[in-house]
Amino acid sequence: MELKYPKAEFLEPGHLACAGCGAALAMRLALKTLDEKTRVVIPASCWSVIAGRHPDAALKLPLIHTPFAVAPSMATGIRAALDRLGQKDVTVMVWAGDGSSYDIGFGALSAAAERNEDIVYVCYDNEAYMNTGIQRSSSTPPGTWTTTTPYPTLKKEQKKDLLNALLAHGIPYAATASPSYPQDFLAKFQKARSIRGFRFILVLAPCPTGWRMEESKTIEVGRLAVESGVFPLLEVEDGKWRITHQPSWIPLERYLELQGRFSSIGEEEKETFRKSVQEKWKDIAEKTGSPLEDKVR
């Protein structure tokens, strides 16, 4: 079923993101669904800059900036205050980068998930610390150039599996989403809005600056990530896994070749990358019961 694309806008055009920023587009879509009854918590990240400062902030909603490691704790406190005021219909949303979600704020994130706090936690994943100049995070995939994994070393380690790490806390709702698939994106935020307890959404947010790609390619690269199987579109409700979009299994190279951050990737690293995507789909096949063979090309 086609969802109506809400007209409401909560992100002003004069925001401070780079051209083609996937994270700005993602926020715009998320707020279209969550609407004005949302309070936003943002730890140190590109989004601390994108939002702009009061009184010229680009976000038309109440927003609080926090240090890296405490956004989920801050959201917990805001939730408690809203509950005390009887404002149960207001959504508290953490909007955090991969640096704070996978690394620096992981402790507070895990603690809030374990307590099943009634908040929506969104990690917009651009796969590096972009705001401070493209440093690798534990979300950066193998074979990636960053300023801390320069050629010829590149990133050697796997991308951390944050989705499964969060699911290990027994949270009621988790999903992955891409702004390249707006209908799927809106449906997941709508679902998240209707559920109580800890909701986790992992958004792949292409970053032209850090991924070394053309600014006009954000949507296309996001699609290639999904169609190659690199970024599966999933939903996990009360432990039940669902694939929300079947990839067309285009070759991995078509995703890699549009991005300068992979321009020095060697055959060995490409194989490590491919294997990590294959492992991911093996896991998904087990969880969904879908008869997925080795489709990753």
Ligand X SMILES: Cc1ncc(C[n+]2csc(CCOP(=O)(O)OP(=O)(O)O)c2C)c(N)n1
Sites of contact with ligand X (CB under 6 A): 44-47, 68, 97-100, 104, 126, 129-132, 137
Residue at shortest CB range from ligand X: 97
How far are the Cα atoms of 49, 55, 125 from residue 15, in angstroms, in the given order? 9, 13, 19
Work out how close the CB of 139 gets to ligand X at its nearest, in angstroms, rounded to a whole number.
Answer: 7
Work out how close the CB of 98 gets to ligand X at its nearest, in angstroms, rounded to a whole number.
Answer: 4
Structure tokens given for 125: 């994943």
At residue 89, what are phi and psi to the nearest 5 degrees? -85, 0
Residue at shortest CB range from Mg ion: 97
Interface pick for Mg ion out of 26, 41, 98, 230 (rule CB under 5 A): 98
Q: Which has the closest alpha carbon to 171: 239, 219, 104?
A: 239
Q: Tell me if residue 11 falls in helix, strand or coil.
A: strand
Q: Which is nearer to Mg ion, 20 or 247 (CB)?
A: 20
- Tell me the C-alpha distance between 107 and 99, whole Å: 12
Interaction of residue 103 with Mg ion, rule CB under 5 A: no
- Tell me the C-alpha distance between 230 and 235, whole Å: 16
DSSP letter for 260, please: G
Q: Which is nearer to Mg ion, 66 or 91 (CB)?
A: 66
175 contact, one of ligand X, Mg ion, none, CB 5-8 Å limit per kind: none
Q: Which is nearer to Mg ion, 132 or 248 (CB)?
A: 132
Binding mask 37-66 for Mg ion (x = CB under 5 A): ------------------------------
Work out how close the CB of 26 gets to ligand X at its nearest, in angstroms, rounded to a whole number.
Answer: 11
Work out how close the CB of 44 gets to ligand X at its nearest, in angstroms, rounded to a whole number.
Answer: 3
The distance of Cα 81 from the centroid of its chain, to the nearest Å, equals 27
The distance of Cα 34 from the centroid of its chain, to the nearest Å, equals 16
Contact 135, 128 (CB under 8 A): yes
Work out how close the CB of 124 gets to Mg ion at its nearest, in angstroms, rounded to a whole number.
Answer: 7
Contact 165, 184 (CB under 8 A): no
Q: Which is nearer to ligand X, 46 or 120 (CB)?
A: 46
Work out how close the CB of 140 gets to ligand X at its nearest, in angstroms, rounded to a whole number.
Answer: 10
140 contact, one of ligand X, Mg ion, none, CB 5-8 Å limit per kind: none
The gap between the terminal CA atoms of the chain, to the nearest Å, is 30
Interaction of residue 210 with Mg ion, rule CB under 5 A: no
Structure tokens given for 193: 């809005």
Residues of this chain that interact with Mg ion (CB under 5 A) are 97-98, 126, 130
